Chains A and B, each alone.
Chain A
Amino acid sequence: MTMGQLMALAILVLVAATLSGPRLPRVWLALTLAGTAALLGAALWALGGSAVWDWRSGFAVGGERLHFRLDAVSAWFLTLVAIVGGAGAVYTREYWPDHERPESAGRGRAWWSALVLCMGLVLQCANGLHFLMAWEAFALSAFFLITLERDRRETRAAGWLYLAASHAGTLGLFAFFSLLAARTGSWDLGPMKDHPELAPLFWVALFGFGVKAGLFPLHIWLPSAHANAPSQVSAIMSGVAIKMGLYGLVRFSGWLPLPAGAGWAVLALGAVSAVLGAAFTLAQSDLKRLLAYCSVENMGVILIGLGVGLLGAANGDTTWGRVAMAGALLHVWNHGLFKSLLFLAAGSVLHATGTREMSRLGGLWRAMPWTAGLFGFGAVAISALPPLNGFVSEWLVYLGLFDAAAGHVPVAVAIVPAAIALGVTGALALAAFVKAAAMVFLGAARTQNAAHAHECGWWMRAPMLTLAAACVGLALAPVVVWPFLRQPLGAWNPAWRGGEPPAPLAALGALQAALAALVAAAAGALWLRARANGLRRALTWDCGYAAPTTRMQYTSGSFAALAVGWFAWALRPERWLRWPRGPFPSRADHVERIPETVLERAIGPVSEVVMAASAWMRRRQQGRLPDYIFYLVAGLAAVGALVVFGGM
């Protein structure tokens, strides 16, 4: 079988899955799994050999011949689409079944395979027009998935916000691709480094793809969409769909000539996204919103790597830029895997308790040990702690930054602050995930819902375990991943095509494995020792207080309060406080809310002004002929004035 046949098979099977989705859940699951397996096979094939699959058809769509191309960069992202697409499909079976959600389960299945298919197509389209079509179809299927639960008002609002933001980005992409086509005379995409006049187009692409990637401050749609979508949808949106924006940036920064400031801008955007994304993450009290903001942070980390890569490529360097870029690409996989895992685990919590509010959860580990363990695993991984996979990729990014700094490169002015920002981001992310895991799973249940939770079944557990296993593989054997990783690296910048790993990955992998073994051994030994000495259960030390309640536990807000105070200039927390008054105080309230600052403080007021201006304009449009004639005359007068005075 050739790669072309495999691709065709995958596409056909996914189309069939989409058609069977509404009515035939079992057939749909089998077909989706088969389709994603075929995609995975094709992607790994492309990554394993250095062959590029390039296929031009005589068949034209919209006046352009179909042109598909699967090179290593596309294949790298396609792998993620396939894995998360398959895992989420299995998860859907128990999480969003027909008997619980009769009106939306069928739709959800159909749009799911449509989304996977469309993302696969986006990754392979080598024609600007078709890229835009696939992009639009991908955005729409994501919209329908987000609004599956459309009887909820928040979901509808989140869906509309997503659609509006997504289309603002698509508008940028329309401009990008049409300008590209106009300047090169063809819609065909491919390497065009030899057209220096195309360089300014990068800024348009940065906006268009940046919206999809959720970079600060273009991330406004992301938190509400990811929080309100069904969890398997949040998983694929956060793990994979936002990576499509990143794919666009990686793809076209590899193909197009770049303006001089590109690397600097990307690095700065990355640093801002990382630090502020992490600060927003820490401040959230809604579990899924927290995970959503964390995506902004991780996209920032990836962008830091990409920015260093761009600077390295621009300086003709072969060491530090290559390491950081390798880290960025690896982080794409890592983040896709553990973020999906975390969203699926959060879905399991939501399924069991019916709430995403962390202050209403707590103590779930007893009822949901699997979910708790898997979420804890994901939390360690996403905080980039050794011995898990998040550390490997962040380590590579750090290494790129440190190598550049140690080499006293001319761009060190940008490198040094980025390295410090990455350090701060890491510490903030750690705080955020200690908080998230502990508030949900540790301590005592804060409400009845949490007390009566139940563990999820194997259909939900298996995909999470698969994702966790993939994380473990990437963590312990990064050197095995290197042969795959070097392909997109070489495809992105041919000067970096070398075979040697840019960093001592083998040593790191061995250390990580040793560390994992030691950690397990030490924990076991300490447990045995404690048991041998005699282990007794007693109440938590409460300082002698006589009437402890579960409400006295530290909450998510109180845990984050200190750091939120330092970032108040960006987070703008809103507080409503009613003090207890009088000798017999009746009630007191304290409500705290972290707004989506960019949306509510910047874009909201501006759009209100625009709306007011439009309302004023509409009043001028009353269908009265004399008015229109007046506009006409005024316009003519303006043109005339321009001709007269412009010629002077």
Chain B
Amino acid sequence: MNSIIAFPARLAVWLLLAPLLPGIINKVKAWVAGRRGPPVLQLYYDLARLWRKGVVVSTLASPGFIAGPAVAWVAVLAAALLLPLGPLGASLSFRGDVILLLYLLALARFCTAWAALETGSAFEGMGAAREVSFAVLAEAAVVTAVLTLSLQSRSVSLSAMLVPAAGSGTLLLAVGLFTVLLAENCRVPFDDPNTHLELTMIHEVMVLDHSGPPLAAVLHGAAMKLLLFSVLLVQAVLPVGKLPPAAGAGALVAGVLVVTVAVGLVESLMARVAFRRVPLLLTTAFLLCVFALLIAWKGGAA
């Protein structure tokens, strides 16, 4: 009924609010470290600047080098639009939309890795290899988490699925999903977005050679992905959809803020784990989701 208003509203949330999240994280980190830190809106300034800048393209790169970030950005945006946004709901809801969401994120990963490999740089190859390899374990965790939601809501559609059950299962799921969020968005303890040593990076090293508008697309896409995972996590844990619209919106915003601050705190207080420990951490996230799934299953059968 109000889809004419709701759709632009959703679009605005995803496009305009997403770059706030990295700003908040950086602010939290600065606050913990006792610095003043960059302004919360820093990413907006960066994006505006990058959008006006010229582009330097590797002599080896094909047109796919520019198309990659564009496709990845569209894929993340499309995935985000499938996700219900508290009282605003989802743009489109059908049976199995959650699988489309997962595979849109996979498409984004494919394109990012493709664009990284365009340059023939060993560093970017390394980052791409790590990204797609760790995604194997993260995917197991995400699919398990989605199955859990599906089992406890007896539905395969996102708008009906995000009805959290109270209990210890939800707690396990929250921790598992939070770990996946950190891994998928390449935050500490999996990756350090601030590092400048190419050998140790995952995501940042893949986009080393991007510049100008394509880099803006990459950064904006990464911010949207972070917001997407935060919104998913919050709605998987809090019954946002059941609350009255105003309260739901408030709960969603507060939840996303809490998640963002938590990311910032993790980043400030934890060190990055050694590379050989990353699979262990991801497996732990997977196991948490498995236990959440078993609890949801047992609860459903009883």
B100 CB within 8 Å of chain A: yes
Contact partners of A426 in chain B: CB under 8 A: 103, 106, 139
Contact A405 B110, beta carbon cutoff 8 Å: no
Known contacts A534-B54, A550-B120, A563-B136; is A402 also within 8 Å of B70 by CB? no
* Given contacts A385-B103, A527-B67, A535-B55, A503 and B73 within 8 Å (CB-CB): no
Q: Please tell me which stretch of B140-148, B165-173, B229-237 contacts chain A, meaning at least 4 of its Cβ atoms lie within 8 angstroms of it.
A: B140-148
- Residues from chain B with Cβ under 8 Å of A399 in the complex: 95-96, 99, 156
For the complex, give the distance between the alpha carbons of A601 and B12 in Å: 58
Question: For residues 555 through 590 of chain A, which have their beta carbon under 8 Å from a beta carbon of chain B?
Answer: 558-563, 566
| Contact flag A420-B213 (CB < 8 Å), given A376-B64, A402-B156, A430-B135 | no
Chain B 81-118: CB-based contact to A (< 8 A → 1; otherwise 0): 00000000000101110111011101101100110011
Binds A, one of B125-133, B174-182, B261-269: B125-133
The residues of A that contact B125 with a CB separation of less than 8 Å are: 553-554, 558-559
Query: Can you name the residue of chain A whose Cβ is closest to the Cβ of B52?
Result: A533
> Are B297 and A408 in touch, CB under 8 angstroms?
yes
Partner of A535, one of B57, B78, B132: B57
B122 in the interface, Cβ–Cβ < 8 Å? Answer: yes
* B192 sits at the interface (CB 8 A): no
Are B209 and A395 neighbours in the complex by a CB distance under 8 Å? no
| Distance of A522 Cα from B134 Cα, bound (Å) | 28
A100 CB within 8 Å of chain B: no
- The reply to whether the CB of A416 lies closer than 8 angstroms to some CB of chain B is yes
Q: Is the beta-carbon distance between A537 and B57 smaller than 8 angstroms?
A: yes
B150:A518 contact, CB within 8 angstroms: no
Whether A504 contacts B96 in the complex (CB less than 8 A), given A522-B73, A527-B66, A530-B55, comes out as yes
Chain A stretch 382-420: residues in CB contact (< 8 A) with chain B: 383-386, 391, 395, 398-399, 402-403, 405-408, 412, 416, 419-420
Interface string of B280-297 (1 = CB under 8 A from A): 000000000000010001
Tally A residues with Cβ within 8 Å of B: 80
Please measure, in the bound complex, the distance between the C-alpha atom of A560 and the C-alpha atom of B142, giving whole angstroms.
22
Distance (Å) between the CB of B302 and the closest chain A CB? Answer: 11
Determine if A543 is an interface residue (Cβ-Cβ < 8 Å). Answer: yes
Given contacts A383-B106, A566-B279, contact A539 B140 (CB under 8 A): no
Known: A383-B106, A442-B120. A423 touches B140 (CB 8 A): yes
Query: Do B136 and A431 touch across chains, with their CB atoms under 8 A apart?
Result: yes
Instruction: Tell whether A511 is near chain B: CB-to-CB under 8 Å.
Output: yes
Of B54, B57, B153, the residue contacting A406 (CB under 8 A) is B153
Q: How far is the CB of A562 from chain B (nearest CB, A)?
A: 4
Q: Are A508 and B57 CB-contacts (below 8 A) given A408-B301, A542-B121, A559-B125?
A: no
One of A116-124, A125-133, A296-304, A358-366 at the interface: A358-366
Distance to closest chain B CB from A396 (angstroms): 8
A365/B62 in contact, CB under 8 A: yes
Contact across chains for A408 and B300 when beta carbons are under 8 A apart: yes
With A363-B60, A408-B151, A420-B143 known as contacts, the answer to whether A428 contacts B136 (CB < 8 A) is yes
Residue numbers of A with Cβ under 8 A of B are: 362-363, 365-366, 372, 376, 380, 383-386, 391, 395, 398-399, 402-403, 405-408, 412, 416, 419-420, 422-424, 426-428, 430-431, 433-435, 437-439, 441-444, 503-504, 507-508, 511, 515, 518-519, 522-523, 525-527, 529-530, 533-543, 550, 552-554, 558-563, 566
For the A-B complex with A406-B151, A420-B140 known, give 12 more contacts whose Cβ atoms are closer than 8 Å: A365-B64, A385-B103, A391-B100, A419-B143, A428-B136, A438-B114, A522-B71, A530-B214, A538-B58, A540-B209, A553-B125, A554-B125
Sample of 18 A–B contacts (CB below 8 Å): A363-B60, A385-B110, A405-B150, A416-B147, A423-B140, A427-B106, A427-B136, A438-B113, A443-B60, A444-B120, A515-B75, A515-B104, A522-B70, A530-B66, A540-B209, A541-B208, A554-B126, A561-B129
Report, nearest first, the 6 A-B pairs whose CB atoms are least far apart: A554-B125, A443-B120, A423-B143, A438-B117, A534-B54, A431-B132
